[in-house]
Amino acid sequence: MNLCMIGTGYVGLVSGTCFADLGNRVFCVDKDKNKIDKLNSGISPIYEPGLNELIKKNYSVGRLIFTNDLKKAISKSELIFICVGTPNKKNSNDVDLSFVFKAAKEIAKCTKNKKILITKSTVPVGTGDSIEKLLKKLRKKNIEVISNPEFLREGEAIRDFRFPDRIVIGSNDKKHFNTLKKLYQPLISKGANFFTTSRRGAELIKYASNAFLATKITFINELANLCEKANINIEDISLGMGSDSRIGSRFLRAGPAYGGSCFPKDTKGLVSTGEKFKTNLSIVKSVIKSNENRKKLHTEKIKKILGSLKGKRIAFLGVTFKPNTDDMRDSVSLKMIPALCKQGSKITYYDPTGSKKNFKNIKNCKFKKSIRETCYNVDLIIIHTEWDEFKSLEFSKIVKKKSFSIFDLRNLYNQNQIKNKNIKYYSVGRPNSN
């Protein structure tokens, strides 16, 4: 099939490349000329394992086309996917849909024949209806609007595309399900569940899934607080609970607090949708609050570990919100590092994806090019992100100070083994963690 992806951000670029790899001809369109030029010279604007190779492979055989020419891309495509960003509005839970509507208007301008428009961006309940209304106003009755939310995780996106748990299609007109089924047939044949529902239903499934996963993480994080006080190991609780098939073991790992481009934004977006439909989603509201409060708890704990923060040298291993991505959006480090520096600490940090502009203007916060340089002379090492290269470090050989502590926010190390080396070790939700 011929497809057009509007927006070459995370969703559009990964999905477009993977669709091309399934044998489709895919036009990836973006207004940002710089991005398109980069892509045409073989450079991916995002960091995602395996993506560069897949882009090169499909670009070289002409199945992947990067262009600014929306009109041409639309005229050659049967299906048009909207993959633009849907951030929260500033200081609000509401979702900013301006990029979505702008894209819909541009599609309308360029469309003559019958087309299917599919929203892949995460959009609140009723957005498909609003796009339809807009198209009617523009006298474009020949464009059908369908919802097909994406569930890709950063760092695992290509695997998630190829082996999805489910493919969700929302349409108020059943005849479109077959067109989408044809597109996804290679994945359905491998066992993906093809799930069809109303357009509003598909829109809500995306928000409900992300809010539920965020709730699961927040639940285990709060229990980790209890475990620290009651001298219980949170990992036993996660295993014990997770082996109940009704609960499931995934997304039950206690950590610093959830972050990233989706959970923080989508939990807020769901609360805002609840308000629009006069429904109090009190659980989701408490999840947002608990997750925010959690970020402050870490600074308090560090103060306790170090006695005072003034003049103390602290190393951060990893600053992105999760491994295998360079994404800093809503990463816990964005709250922790400024708070620690403000109280007089000196921070060095290392991340496999390089220095971050987020910390450029913070006095006493410096990027170092290696783990060794970062930890050289510090009082405390904070393991912030679970990159593989942080999982088996010989800390006593790396740190030159006689006495130092480790605060492992990801529970990467066995605490008995590390304590035997005379290192003061603190982790999350494990006995004697606090």
Catalytically active residues are 262
Q: How far is the CB of 357 from ligand UDX (least distance, A)?
A: 20
Q: Which is nearer to ligand UDX, 199 or 265 (CB)?
A: 265
Cβ–Cβ < 8 Å for 371, 317:
yes
| Token duo for residue 337 | 């590092």
Q: Which is nearer to ligand UDX, 164 or 274 (CB)?
A: 164
Stretch (H or E) spanning 93:
none
Residue closest to 337 by CA, chosen among 358, 321, 308: 358
**Distance (Å, whole) CA 218 – CA 210:** 12
Q: Which is nearer to ligand UDX, 54 or 309 (CB)?
A: 54
300 burial via Cβ count (<10 Å: 0-12, 13-18, 19+): exposed
| Cβ neighbours around 189 below 10 Å, total | 8
Q: Which is nearer to ligand UDX, 220 or 398 (CB)?
A: 220
Cβ–Cβ < 8 Å for 380, 409:
no
- CA 22 vs CA 36, 148, 167: distances in Å: 22, 17, 15
Q: Which is nearer to ligand UDX, 150 or 408 (CB)?
A: 150
Q: Which is nearer to ligand UDX, 37 or 165 (CB)?
A: 165
Side-chain-facing half-sphere of 333: CA atoms under 13 Å? 30
Stretch (H or E) spanning 350:
strand 346-350
| Token duo for residue 257 | 């607090």
Q: How far is the CB of 145 from ligand UDX (least distance, A)?
A: 21
Q: How far is the CB of 151 from ligand UDX (least distance, A)?
A: 4
**Distance (Å, whole) CA 47 – CA 357:** 16
Q: How far is the CB of 256 from ligand UDX (least distance, A)?
A: 7
| Cβ neighbours around 363 below 10 Å, total | 9
Cβ–Cβ < 8 Å for 14, 123:
no
For ligand UDX, the binding residues (CB under 6 A) are 150-154, 210, 213, 217, 251-253, 255, 258-263, 321-322
- CA 33 vs CA 20, 25, 40, 57, 84: distances in Å: 21, 21, 10, 22, 15
**Distance (Å, whole) CA 41 – CA 148:** 30
Q: How far is the CB of 123 from ligand UDX (least distance, A)?
A: 13
Q: How far is the CB of 4 from ligand UDX (least distance, A)?
A: 21
Cβ–Cβ < 8 Å for 336, 407:
no
Q: How far is the CB of 223 from ligand UDX (least distance, A)?
A: 12
Q: Which is nearer to ligand UDX, 121 or 345 (CB)?
A: 121
